[in-house]
Structure 1
């Protein structure tokens, strides 16, 4: 992948691309790796910056392929905002290819990540993992989807605000104040989510979804998430993994089965059909919707997902 990007952007690998050109602009340009981070930057900085989001609405940032124009955006960037934990590693490769030397804000800085199986074994979060007896211990990797816990989203907000303050000193106080206000909103959102989930008995808090993106959400709110795919949407689950999950859905009477807004729903639709359940809707996990859609912001994403999850877990309309 690195070789490909270097070939795509040979003209950008120049020592002059240091990110310093942004100081000549009226508003500094900030480049965010994917839509959730782009919204966070927008919520904090507003019109004080020019925002460029590389992997936009409904884009799968796991396997995103940058375009030459995306690398060109680094030429005038005052700040690059990335998730880290291996989620958007293509940003790091793009930075190296473009010889960008400006500041980079890592939203997950200071976070101790959860660990998850490195391959697509179906297992539950917020509960016991589903493993075969006497199987070798699976390899683990950091779970990069930390934004799925809004309390950790508040950490993201503070890290981004600190990055903005450093890259835009003239507005540092405004960025820091806006970051704190946004973090407080996310902490209030966490309280609202807990209030909504209080209507769901603990035994019913089981959800099947496309890939393993909801581990932090499950750990925060006591929900077991089962997925035929692992941390990345790039891999395909084996027939044995799908069959094992079908048996589990039948045995536990799971009614909350969802697809996500990215990638092909074919595997989950086949799984639901064979398990005798129906897909209850579309959750947003790794990307926001377009502006006119149901999840155009990070906060709206949680409200949309909760509006689907609560009745599905309760078995309403099953």
Structure 2
């Protein structure tokens, strides 16, 4: 075979490979997930049978998300849109209307017992009392993924939705879902063992954003936050002063900001209370691929490790 013939053969092989890869991509079920944590969960369940597009990416804040033209295109091409629900994606209805979306939508949190945002609870804690931070979410706290057992239900809901759209892949989705649930249960058992070693009286944490109510209820930690459940408004000076007094009186040393929050507020609280802020917690978004929380399972393990290190100082 001459060089030219050999070169043409290589080019032909490369072209065939590209066409094969394009055909494989075209065969995958196009799925849109509303934010990075949900996108990771969906990808674990769908595996190679789906192509996932995430609207609100790593280290991005879904509370203040503004859809772009590329997001509208992604939704218009999707066969399934997966949302958290519980009022988390206040922009989703406008987005699906702009995309003229007629496909299926699954609410991953369907069936979960939502924690209510009760004003009396805020007043009792002394944090963000009287604020209207929750107006975007209604009465329900949307951060249900902070309890791994809720993500077990997320997984089952997503398995059912994918299996309905792609019956040929139902066995794969069930197998992937069962494997992911086993990992969730292993994570949950590990975290529970870690916190069980700390007296409940010491399990107090300050965060800038009220996103850990489900986590706190599940593992019996008490979280106080300057901001409410949404991150799109700032607390008043009176609320910050009240929180600082509480930190001093209860000698709380565990002080954290979230990966997509402005750290200035918590730095101010730390200076005035005499407590140095710990590292980041990942609340509503994954880290970038090279960071410490590129998946939901890694996020939870990282948060647990960070919290344990600081609450031991309380």
Deviations 1:153-206 (A, max 9, x none): 111111111111112222112112211221221122111001111221111000
After TM superposition, list the pairs within 5 Å mapping 1:1-318 onto structure 2. Answer: 25-117=26-118, 123=122, 129-130=125-126, 141-315=139-313
User: Tell me, what secondary structure is at the counterpart of 1:66?
Assistant: coil
Structure having the higher Rg: 2
Give the Cα–Cα distance (whole angstroms) in 2 for the partners of residues 173 and 113 of structure 1.
Answer: 30
Deviations 1:259-313 (A, max 9, x none): 1100211111101110000001100000000111000000000110111100200
DSSP-derived class of the 2:284 partner? coil
Distance 2:246 2:52 in 1: 45
Q: Aligned equivalents of 1:256 and 1:173: distance in 2?
A: 45
Conservation of the 8 A alpha-carbon contact between 1:122 and 1:245: no
Give distance in 1, aligned partners of 2:240 and 2:311.
Answer: 21
Give, in whole Å, the separation in 1 of the partners of 2:173 and 2:91: 27
CA contact 1:155–1:183 (8 Å) conserved in 2: no
Q: Which runs of 5+ in 2 are unaligned?
A: 1-24
Structure with more helix by fraction: 2
Work out whether residues 226 and 235 of structure 2, in 8 Å CA contact, stay in contact via their aligned partners in 1: yes
C-alpha contact (below 8 Å) 2:128/2:226 kept by paired residues:
no
- Verify the 8 A CA contact 1:33 1:81 in the aligned structure 2: yes
Q: Matches of 1:75 and 1:114 in 2, distance apart? A: 33
Match of 1:8 in 2: none
Deviation at 1:89, TM superposition (A): 2.2
1:281 & 1:132 partners in 2: Cα distance? Answer: 22
CA distance in 1: counterparts of 2:170 and 2:77, whole angstroms: 19
Runs of 4 or more, structure 1, over 6 Å off, are none
| TM-score normalised by structure 1 residue count | 0.85
| TM-score, scaled relative to structure 2 | 0.86
With 144-153 and 87-96 compared, the bigger mean Cα shift is at 87-96
Report what 2:22 is aligned to: none
Give the count of matched residue pairs.
286
| RMSD (Å) for aligned C-alpha atoms | 2.3
